[in-house]
C-alpha cells in the first residue's frame, strides 16, 4: 500500500469516527428507551476501535467496509421514524441461541429488524452464494418467526417488520412476505441487481449437466406440489386468508409448477424411498382434500418405492454420467448431522437419491442450501414449493 492509499484510509477512518460521534448525539434523544445505553456503548466501542487502528497506522480497507456503524446508523434512523418504541437490542432465547431484536414498539406488539446490507448482497446470500455459516435474510426471518411465537404480548404473537435501509429486491421481498413478514424499504427490480431475471433462486440451486441421468428421486415436497389443488387449476379461483397460500397462488399463476415437473419427469423412471412414501401418505390423510387424495393415489402408482437403504443395484437403469455424483458421496470427511435445516427425514430421502444415483426433485431449498454450505452438493432439481390447499379453499373467498 502506498502513502496516498494510507492517507485516504486514515481520512476515511476519521470520517467514520465523526459519523459515530454524531450518532451518539442523535441517540441521546432516546435515553429513556430500554437498551439505548447498551447501543450507545456498542457505538463507542466501534469509535474506539477506529481510533486505535488510526494510532497504530495499521488500517485496512476492510476495517472501514465492515464497520458496524452502518447498521447502527440505520437503526438510529429507524428509531426516529417509528412511534412508540419501548426497547432496542432486546435479547430473547431461542433453543440454544440468542436472538437480538433491533427494536420493539407498539407496546411490544411489533418486532423490528433493521437491515443495512445492500440489496445485491442480500440476494446473493439468499441464493447460497456465501461462505458456510453466513445466514440469509430468509433464515433470519424464520428465526424471528419462531422466536416471536415463544414470546406473545397481550396474548398475541408480535408482528414482525423488516426495514431495509438500502432497499430490497422484489423477489426477496415477496419470499419474506410469503412467510408473513412485513417488508419496508424501496423495492428494486432483480434485473437492476445484475441478477438474471429469468434465472430463479430455485434454478440456481439445481445441479447442472444431469440430462443423461434417467432416474428421479421424488421428495415429499415434490409429491405435495404435484397433487396440490393450487397446481391443478385452482390458483386463480380463491383468495386465501393465509399469506403464504396467497403468495403461492400468485406465483402459480405466473409460474405453474406442474408443467415444469411433467417436462422434467418425461422419459425418466420415478423412485422414492419408504420414508418419503409414508410421510406423504400421512400428510395427505391429515390435511389433503378429496381430490388431492385421489391425485396422490394416482401419482404414487407411477413411482417405484424402494427401501430407504436401497442402492443403484436395486434399480434397472444405468446412468451414462455417474461423475456428477462424485461431489456428493459421503466419506469420513463429508458427513451431515441432523440439526437446523438438516432434518432426519430429509437426510434419509436425499441420501437415498444419492445411493440409487438419481436426481432428487425437491422444493426443500433450506436443506439443499444447508448441505451445500457444508460441502455436500446433492444432485437435485429444485422447484418452487406449493402446499396442499383444498381444505383451505372451503374457508377462502371465491374469486370466480
- Hey, which bits of the chain come out as E strands? 85-94, 97-105, 110-115, 159-164, 168-169, 182-184, 187-188, 215-218, 238-239, 269-273, 304-306, 359-362, 380-382, 397-398
pTM for the structure as a whole: 0.56
**Residue for cell digits 427494536?**
103
Q: What kind of architecture, by CATH, is found in domain 201-397?
A: 3-Layer(aba) Sandwich (3.40)
Smallest Cα–Cα separation from 382: which of 372, 374, 394, 391? 372
Segments making up each domain of the chain, as ranges = 1-69, 82-195, 201-397
Cα 239 from Cα 230, distance rounded (Å) = 11
- For residue 196, the model assigns a pLDDT of 44
pLDDT digits (tens, 9 = 90+) for 103-145: 999 989 999 999 988 888 887 776 655 444 457 888 888 889 8
Say which residue the cell 430490497 belongs to. 168
Low-confidence ranges of the chain (pLDDT < 70): 1-8, 56-67, 126-134, 190-203, 243, 317-334, 340, 399-400
b/e for 355-372, b at 16 or more Cβ within 10 A? bbbbbbbbbbbbbbbbbe
Residue with cell 444432485: 379
In 32-61, which positions are buried (b, 16+ CB within 10 angstroms) versus exposed (e)?
Answer: ebebbeebbebbeebbebbeebbeeeebee
What is the CATH topology of the domain spanning 82-195? Answer: Trna Endonuclease; Chain: A, domain 1 (3.40.1350)
Amino acid at each position: 500500500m502506498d502513502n496516498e492509499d494510507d492517507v485516504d484510509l486514515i481520512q476515511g477512518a476519521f470520517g467514520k469516527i465523526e459519523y459515530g460521534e454524531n450518532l451518539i448525539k442523535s441517540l441521546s434523544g432516546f435515553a429513556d428507551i430500554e437498551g439505548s445505553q447498551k447501543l450507545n456503548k456498542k457505538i463507542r466501542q466501534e469509535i474506539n476501535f477506529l481510533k486505535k487502528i488510526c494510532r497504530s497506522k495499521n488500517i485496512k480497507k476492510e476495517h472501514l467496509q465492515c464497520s458496524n456503524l452502518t447498521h447502527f446508523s440505520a437503526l438510529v434512523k429507524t428509531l426516529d421514524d417509528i412511534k412508540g418504541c419501548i426497547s432496542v437490542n432486546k435479547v430473547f432465547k431461542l433453543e440454544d441461541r440468542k436472538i437480538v431484536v433491533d427494536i420493539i414498539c407498539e407496546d411490544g406488539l411489533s418486532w423490528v429488524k433493521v437491515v443495512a446490507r445492500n440489496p445485491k448482497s442480500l440476494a446473493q446470500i439468499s441464493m447460497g452464494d456465501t461462505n458456510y455459516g453466513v445466514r440469509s435474510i430468509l433464515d433470519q426471518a424464520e428465526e424471528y418467526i419462531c422466536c416471536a411465537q415463544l414470546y406473545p404480548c397481550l396474548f398475541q404473537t408480535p408482528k414482525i417488520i423488516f426495514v431495509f435501509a438500502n432497499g430490497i429486491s422484489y423477489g426477496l421481498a415477496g419470499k419474506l412476505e410469503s412467510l408473513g413478514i412485513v417488508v419496508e424499504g424501496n423495492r428494486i427490480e432483480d434485473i437492476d441487481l445484475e441478477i438474471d431475471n429469468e434465472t430463479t433462486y430455485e434454478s440456481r440451486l439445481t445441479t447442472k449437466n444431469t440430462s443423461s441421468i434417467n432416474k428421479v428421486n421424488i421428495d415429499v415436497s415434490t409429491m405435495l406440489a404435484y397433487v396440490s389443488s393450487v397446481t391443478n387449476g385452482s390458483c386463480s379461483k380463491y383468495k386465501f386468508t393465509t399469506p403464504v397460500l396467497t403468495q403461492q397462488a400468485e406465483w402459480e399463476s405466473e409460474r405453474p409448477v406442474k408443467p415444469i415437473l411433467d417436462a422434467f419427469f418425461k422419459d425418466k423412471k420415478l423412485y422414492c424411498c419408504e420414508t418419503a412414501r409414508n410421510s406423504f401418505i400421512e400428510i395427505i390423510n391429515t390435511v389433503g382434500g378429496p381430490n388431492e387424495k385421489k391425485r396422490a393415489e394416482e401419482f404414487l402408482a407411477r413411482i417405484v418405492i424402494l427401501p430407504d437403504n436401497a442402492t443403484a443395484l436395486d434399480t434397472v437403469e444405468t446412468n451414462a454420467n455417474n461423475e456428477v455424483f462424485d461431489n456428493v458421496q459421503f466419506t469420513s470427511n463429508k458427513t451431515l448431522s441432523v440439526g437446523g435445516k438438516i432434518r432426519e427425514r430429509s437426510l434419509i430421502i436425499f441420501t437415498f437419491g444419492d445411493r440409487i444415483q438419481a436426481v432428487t426433485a425437491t422444493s426443500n431449498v433450506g436443506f439443499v442450501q444447508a448441505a451445500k454450505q457444508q460441502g455436500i452438493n446433492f444432485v437435485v432439481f429444485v422447484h418452487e414449493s406449493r402446499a396442499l390447499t383444498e381444505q383451505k379453499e372451503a374457508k377462502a373467498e371465491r374469486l370466480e
